[in-house]
Amino acid sequence: MSHKVLGLEISETAIAAVLLDSGFKGCTLENQFYAPIPADGDESEGLSKALDLLMESLKPAGATCVLGIPTTFISFRNLSVPFTDLKKIRQLLPFELEPTLPMSVESLVFDFEAVKQNGGQELLAFVAEKEKLDRYLALLGAVNLHPVIVTPSGYAATRIMTRMAGPENDYLFIDTSQTHHTVYAVSEGQVRMVRTLPVGAGGYPVMRSMEMAIKRTFTLLQENMGISVNPSTVYSMGSQYHLLGRGDETSRLMGVSIKNINAIRTFPRLTAKTDTPEWEAGHMDMALSLALMETETISGINFSTERSTFQHFWGEHRKNIIVSTALIILVIATVLTGQFMRLNAKEHRLAELDQQIETVFKSTFPEVTRVVDPLQQMQVKIKEAGEGGTGLSLSGTNARVVDILDALSQKIPASVDVMINRMVVGKDNVMLSGNTKNFNTVDDIKGRLESADIFKSVTISSADLEKSGNRVRFKLKLDI
């Protein structure tokens, strides 16, 4: 199922937006927008007018919004903590950063990227001024845009370039603006350092000044944090990227070539027409990077208060999720194993019963040489035996000997102390002779047999003691 994603970049001088239609097979660029922010008058008023034009042009109702903000009110810090629990790090991060910040922690919002584990955790923390961030969110809320990701625009472009370049390539990404350049250093697929550098005079002096500042920063990182970055490429983008050269092989910084990020327009899962003047001028690439952060579910820094992205949730609760998932899988595996073992035991028991049935059938009917379904064959044999007169019918009655024997066995349980010596079956009665322990037992047997449907009446013909005096002999007449 497809959904729309709006990548919106707010810079110091303009806003740029792209609207992507994202689906299972990839995403398509549906529309784009670029408008300068009026320089005259209040900044918020100018931004509000630009946003109104955006809503009228793109009509992004229902789209997921990803907002890119400038780095003018964002600070960056490298630090190490002695534990690796990301949820705990998020709770303690303000206290770790407070001594290095010029403002109170209550007026700031924080997020971080865990860049390396080595006993503890190395972090790259991003700190934004809450008041300025809230002003942006209020202006967006006024036009019914509620970003689910709020991140520095250059950071989003850096993460997308990392996806394209691969984790094995170290590089620098420079986000240029009117007043400063922000340098992102990427090593082993992680953003290891971010620094904001002021813009000098025009032309090559800018590059020499930036090169010296970057070298000093790298030296400090190596000495203080043990972070080593050896870039093989420098990417540049932003409103002043032309100050760093033409973006071809002749433009170099720190001995490596400087390239612009127009390669992002050929992102593997993207279908887009990018031959408009806005694209050629490099105004739209940041907005595209922001939208791709959401469509490609790339984790990273997020100042949004609307909701946490899946990546943030996974990052903070990964350990608990993995443990819970492992326990659930273990429980399911245990239940399935138990079910399998019970099923296997039942199948084994059924096989034993089938074998016993077949054995009984063969011993009862040895003349049958081919046994297919012993239970059914036995039922057929019993039916044939009944129809063939094995249970002898008495003349003048429907009673059969087998029915009389069945009634005797049903009504006189094995617990009754009785010995039947003789049974004479007549035309309409049965004479039963035997002995038992006392006269009460004779009466009990009489009562039991009277309850049998096959007998009309039961009469005690005789009952007397044996010569030994230990047993009682009796004769019963059973009318049928």
The predicted pLDDT at position 197 comes to 82
Band of residue 247 on the pLDDT scale cut at 50, 70, 90: low
Two structure tokens written together for 231: 């870039």
Closest residue by Cα to residue 102 from 124, 77, 121: 77
Asked if residue 369 belongs to a domain, the reply is: no
Whether 238 and 135 map to the same domain: the answer is: yes
What number is the average pLDDT over the span 274-282? 85
pLDDT surpasses 70 at 75: yes
The CA distance from 149 to 159, in Å, is 14
Report the distance separating Cα 162 and Cα 148, nearest Å: 22
Rounded to 5°, angle at Cα 286 from 41 and 49: 25
Domain assignment of residue 468, given as a range: 401-479
139 in a structural domain = yes
Please measure the distance between the N-terminal and C-terminal CA atoms of the chain and give it in whole angstroms. Answer: 82
* Domain endpoint, select from 307, 333, 350: 307
| Euclidean distance between CA atoms 238 and 175, whole angstroms | 5
445 C-beta neighbours (distance < 10 Å), count: 23
Residues 263 and 412 in one domain: no
SS3 138: helix
pLDDT at position 203: 47
Provide the CATH number for the domain around residue 259.
3.30.420.380
pLDDT at 387: 58
Name the residue among 331, 183, 342 with its Cα closest to residue 253.
Answer: 183
Residue 222 domain-assigned (yes or no)? yes
Rounded-to-integer distance, Cα 134 and Cα 105, Å: 15
Structure tokens at 477: 């007449």
Q: Other CB atoms closer than 10 Å to residue 142's CB: what's the count?
A: 11
Q: Does the structure show a pLDDT above 50 at 399?
A: yes
- Residues 413-435: b if buried by 16+ CB within 10 A, e if exposed: eeeeebeeeebebeeebbebbbb
Confidence label for 317 from pLDDT (cuts 50, 70 and 90): low
Please calculate the CA angle 337-338-343 and round it to the nearest 5 degrees. Answer: 100
Q: Report whether 462 contacts 448 (CB < 8 A).
A: no
Tens-place pLDDT, residues 321-337: 788 888 899 999 999 99
**Cα separation, 4 vs 463, whole angstroms:** 102
Same domain, 418 and 285: no
Q: Which residues fall within 8 angstroms of residue 68, CB to CB, at 6 or more apart?
A: 7, 8, 9, 10, 151, 152, 153, 156, 286, 287, 289, 290
Least confident among 178-182, 242-246, 450-454 = 242-246
Find the mean pLDDT for residues 23-38.
90
Reduced to 3 states (helix: H, G, I; strand: E, B; else coil), residue 358 is: helix
**pLDDT, tens only, 286-306:** 999 999 999 988 888 999 866
pLDDT of residue 374: 77
- Name residue 433's beta-bridge partners: 422, 475
Which one of 307, 341, 367 terminates a domain? 307
Please state, in angstroms and rounded to a whole number, the distance separating the CA atoms of residues 449 and 428: 16
Residues 408, 286 within the same domain: no
Mean per-residue pLDDT over the chain, rounded: 84
**How far is it, in rounded angstroms, from Cα 270 to Cα 418?**
96
Distance in angstroms (rounded) separating the CA atoms of residues 184 and 148: 23
Is the confidence at residue 406, as pLDDT, over 70? yes
Domain count, the chain: 2
Residue 107 sits in the same domain as residue 247 = yes
Same domain, 105 and 239: yes
Is residue 368 included in any domain, yes or no? no
pLDDT value for 218? 82
Tell me whether strands 3-10 and 252-253 are parallel, antiparallel or unpaired.
unpaired
Please report, as a single letter, which amino acid is at residue 444.
D
Percentage of the chain surpassing pLDDT 70?
A: 89
Asked if residue 316 belongs to a domain, the reply is no
Is 324 within a domain?
A: no
Give the CATH number of the domain where residue 458 resides: 3.30.1360.100
Q: Is the pLDDT of residue 149 over 90?
A: yes
Amino acid 305: pLDDT: 67
The alpha carbon of residue 258 and the mean position of all alpha carbons in its chain are separated, in whole angstroms, by 42
Q: Both tokens of residue 355?
A: 């074998």
Is 87 part of a structural domain of the chain?
A: yes
Among 29-43, 59-73, 181-195, 206-220, the range with the most confident prediction by mean pLDDT is: 59-73
Q: What are phi and psi of 399, to 5 degrees?
A: -70, 145
Q: Are residues 277 and 175 both part of a single domain?
A: yes
Q: How far is it, in rounded angstroms, from Cα 293 to Cα 438? A: 98
Question: Averaged over 207-212, what is the pLDDT?
Answer: 77
Residue 154 lies in a domain: yes
> Do 432 and 420 contact (CB within 8 A), yes or no?
yes
Query: Pick from 307, 329, 359: which residue ends a domain?
Result: 307
- The highest-confidence range among 79-88, 224-233, 309-318, 444-453, by mean pLDDT, is 444-453
| Statement to judge: residues 280 and 408 lie in one domain | no
The per-residue pLDDT for 390 is 45
Band (pLDDT 50/70/90 cuts) for residue 204 is: very low
Q: What's at 175, amino acid-wise? A: D
- Report the distance separating Cα 54 and Cα 65, nearest Å: 13
